[in-house]
Structure 1
């Protein structure tokens, strides 16, 4: 079952085409990371899913219906990058106010606990630190007990311990069957938490799969070492698909066949030090995918 469905969606603003033929299904109960460079169309797509805008062409369905319907909105929670929270309200007052907008909300104390805000529940929103304000935005997003949760750059401003607790809370929501759509520039978080990654560029889907499959679709390994080889010699090694070397001899090779590279170094008795072999990360895959020119058709 799909919690979100976009079919052949175009969205234009005057002469600007923000989305072009966007087709995307988000399956119920999954955490899907929606990634893309600035201007890729992510924000526009999410505004359509939230019912804040209408597509120029195509259809958008959330929980099987038009996201503008009140019944759908009651089942959606959203943690935007910026939240207009009344600064004079205390944390508890803000969460209580939002809870009253939903037919079957979480208990206020439960929402505060999920967001690690119980100890500052009496503090005014205007007196919160940046990280605490993000945690309040999370509490407001989950207090309605949503079936679908949108998280837009959720951990910006959070310290390491707050991030760890935040993702533990998100894991709990996913285990409870919630559908979660995440946008983030912290690609290591997407790689660690997402069941599925969708990469957008120029208003349409560029790649779609698990973090593992996206990593495997591009250069899968990096081989780093120091040596006296110049760039042309590094590029000539078998299996090397890209290479850089700095003035101190630090070589960085991109390859699908790290074993072939190492075999060649040993076979040719090429001295090297500080060897490091690592699998490509989701960030490597993302940068490669979004750097490639769009193909016609």
Structure 2
């Protein structure tokens, strides 16, 4: 099958390569001329035979919106546009409605697999009209992992990215659990082989998973993770998952806590914890850590000017 691929970064480039290895005719466009097959989107569309299929793999938000808008002016009745990035499912519905007026189909695909997808395949969560999905099935079959699983036509437009959003929310919670478990093991001298413990869990346990494999790999490369800084960004899908939980009145305590933990990782000195420390000092005379160069202040600190605690149990 012939397909256009817009965005040839880590994911898009590897997906294009996997499709080529499977015998598909891929015409790729990227802003980097070193990896692009064409000079612009207009040339990309000209190179494709109707009915065309164009897969967009660019960052979500404004870059995707701008790309979809530009392609809408170039594609024709019967063509299909695929958004395989991490777009919000509500954007999918807007794009689908806008393109439908021109007879252009729209399919949203949540893609998971990361840098390992080239060799192992990509898990695909698809949303769209069954006719458009069927048109793209040769591509989906080549991209997915071998075997029965790894692909789902999750529902109408938006369902693919909604499923991927929830997938990533679950991923947040799982990663946070592994992280907290690692920190607890490292905090004591009871377990002397932390890396070996994680490695042992890869077989025969109920928590064995690809994420656990990656934990073991990371600890093998850097046993105490000393080469890393405890800072974790979020891609946006964790936030969207929490918001969707609020919108649908579904409690998501684990996913929400994992998202907030990432926010906390970006604070070298938490403003909120400053207030907590100040309040504990005020009502209970509990010791607080002062700014570097100043002395610790607390109930037993020399010169501490603290009123008697109102509630000694606080």
* TM-score relative to the length of structure 2: 0.28
Which structure is higher in RCO with an 8 Å CA cutoff and minimum separation 6?
1
Q: Which has the larger radius of gyration?
A: 2
Of Structure 1 and Structure 2, the greater strand share is in 1
